[in-house]
Amino acid sequence: MESENRRKALEFKDVRLVYHTKEGETAAAEHMSFCVYEGEFIAVIGPSGCGKTTVLSLAAGLLRPSAGEVCVHGKKGQKGIGYMLQKDELFPWRTVRQNIFLPLEIGKKDTPEHRARVLALAEKYGLSGFLRAYPAQLSGGMRQRAALIRTLAADPALLLLDEPFSALDYQTRLNVCEDVCRVIRGEQKTAILVTHDISEAISCADRVLVLSARPARVVASHTMDFSELSPLKRRESPQFSGWFEILWKELNV
């Protein structure tokens, strides 16, 4: 098998995806191949409308590739995935506690042990004071944090983050980004972050994938060489603007 001792969490093998509508067909992805290793934090950037979200839908198994293969942990059937969306999508009629238990109910894992694990997670990341509150009573940042704990509740092996910070105002966005990265690294999760924000990609990820315009394919993969892991500290580091310039140019070819 692999000579490398790192195991693959997700692999796209020459994936092609075509959308069919009444107006015609659109190729969203073509010859897309890449690998995400276990424990790695990947950011995916690309020109707007290039099909970044499509990558996540494929990885989550919500879409089937028209050609090629998508493997999660070497298998084709997807399981153990946590999807975090742009909006928190917390259910307003449930309390935060009931919201973060939702994946357990769906996965028929609603046992005291799993509940205890989720509550411990909530406690660890500062949500325990808000468990009885309804989402409408929380700030945007706190809601997104609750959404992250919900994403982690079913203990997914792979996290898919679809621009999870873009609905927040700038200051909250930096803070929540800091929090989310800390939680993901703390729990040693494999994560793929899709974003249109170059600085966000540089500050969060171990590696940044750059997609081409539609039909999307991977044109570059850059390993971020920061000694710092914290997004805010990375933003202050001297390499930051260098990376920004490189990625900016690649997006605007």
Partner 1 sequence: MKHFAKRQRTACSPEHCLYLKKRRRETVLVQALRLGILLLLLGVWELVAQLRLVDPFIISSPSRIFATIGDLAADGSLFVHIGTTLWETLAGFAIAVALGTLVALALWWSERARRVLEPYIVVLNSLPKIALGPVIIVWFGTGSTAILFMTVLVGIIVAIMNMLGGFTATDPGKILLLRSMGASKLQILTKLVLPSSLPAFIGMLKICVGMAWIGSIMGEYISSNAGLGYLIVYGGQVFRLDLVMAATAILCVLAAGMYALVALAEKLLLKK
Which one, 138 or 251, has the nearer CB to partner 1? 138
Report, in Å, the least distance between residue 99 CB and partner 1: 11
Q: Which two tokens mark 62?
A: 């919500």
* DSSP assigned state of 132: T
Nearer to partner 1, 137 or 223 (CB): 137
**Count of alpha carbons within 13 angstroms of residue 204, beta-carbon side:** 34
Cβ neighbourhood burial of 167 (10 Å; 0-12, 13-18, 19+): middle
Nearer residue to partner 1 within complex by CB, 18 or 133: 133
CB 152, min distance to partner 1, A: 12
Joined together, the tokens standing for residue 33 give 């191949």
Beta carbon of residue 94, minimum distance to partner 1 (angstroms, whole number): 8
**Interface contacts to partner 1, rule CB under 8 A:** 60, 62, 79, 81-83, 85-87, 89, 91-93, 102-103, 105-107, 129-130, 132-134, 137, 154, 160
Q: What angle do CA 196, 200, 202 make, to 5 degrees?
A: 110
Residue 193 CB, nearest distance to partner 1 (Å)? 15
**Shortest distance, position 188 Cβ to partner 1, whole Å:** 21
Longest dimension (CA), the chain: 53
Q: Which is nearer to partner 1, 84 or 247 (CB)?
A: 84
Strand partners, 44: 194, 209
* Contact present, 167 and 84 (Cβ < 8 Å): no
Tokens encoding 60: 């989550």
Helix (H, G, I), strand (E, B) or coil at 91: coil
